[in-house]
Amino acid sequence: MADLLLNGHFDGLADSDEAGDLHLATASDTPLTARAFELSDAEKIEKISGHFAEIMNILGLDLRDDSLRGTPRRVAKMYVNEIFRGLKPEHRPAVTTFENKYQYRRLVVERNIPLQSTCEHHFQPIFGVAHVAYIPNGRVVGLSKLNRIVDYYARRPQVQERLTVQIVEDLKRVLHTEDVAVYIDARHMCVQARGVEHHGASTITAEYSGKFLNESTKQEFLAAIHSKMPA
């Protein structure tokens, strides 16, 4: 199975329930078709609205009811403008770095970044927090940009493992350093609201690069994100 995962091939497995149940991802990049950006947002909303109305019809829901009539369009707008807005490259946050004039060379940690995403296997919500750290090289970045990068990659159909790697790789590129760490702790509604329905379960993923592969630096990061806030 590991070879299948690394090579991005499943020999039909991706078409079955098994791929989703095993929580497998085929690549570190979000899987997109060559035509992903051909339609405008308005065109996507129109098409999704029609398809979702058909789903509701198949389920036997009466779209003539006042409460349900606007649901297909509401869902379509939510998909395009909100929970999947990270699919559009133009929504990637503009990140400006600044010269590290004060020569700070220790950890910069932004912890407890609220995270909201969507499981790509069942289209169920994922809620959690991300903790991000880097060691400045010649440049530093405004702290809110770390939050925005996390949100950008979260706002698309995801698996948590891929999300963790995508955040690390983008931060390495933006900050021009290998010294980056990301730790995510999240609850998946595909585990809590369906299937085994284990409401207390959460998933932890972590990715370390550069100096964070050193055990002492990694432990300094973990101690920082798990420490209590002052009263």
- In angstroms, the CA 28 to CA 84 distance is 17
User: By the 8 A CB rule, do 41 and 81 touch?
Assistant: yes
Catalytic-residue membership of 23: no
What is the Rg, in whole angstroms, of the alpha carbon atoms belonging to the chain? 20
Q: Residue 6 domain-assigned?
A: no
pTM above 0.75, yes or no: yes
Residue where a domain stops, chosen among 83, 109, 139? 83
Supply the angle between the helices 41-58 and 71-78 in degrees, to the nearest 10.
Answer: 130
Around Cβ 51, how many Cβ atoms within 10 Å?
A: 12
CATH for 128: 3.30.1130.10
Catalytic-residue membership of 220: no
Same domain as 222, residue 164: yes
Give me the number of domains the chain comprises. 2
pLDDT of residue 194: 73
pLDDT tens digits, residue range 76-97? 999 999 999 999 999 999 988 9
Q: Residue 25 domain-assigned?
A: no
pLDDT tens digits, residue range 133-186? 999 988 899 999 999 999 999 999 999 999 999 999 999 999 999 999 999 999
Domain range for 165: 97-226
Same domain as 151, residue 46: no
Residue 7 has pLDDT above 60, yes or no: no
CATH for 77: 1.10.286.10
Catalytic-residue membership of 51: no
Spell out the SS3 assignment of 97-125. Answer: EEECCCCCCCCEEEEEEEEEEEECCCCCE
Catalytic-residue membership of 131: no
Catalytic residue from among 160, 166, 192, 207: 160
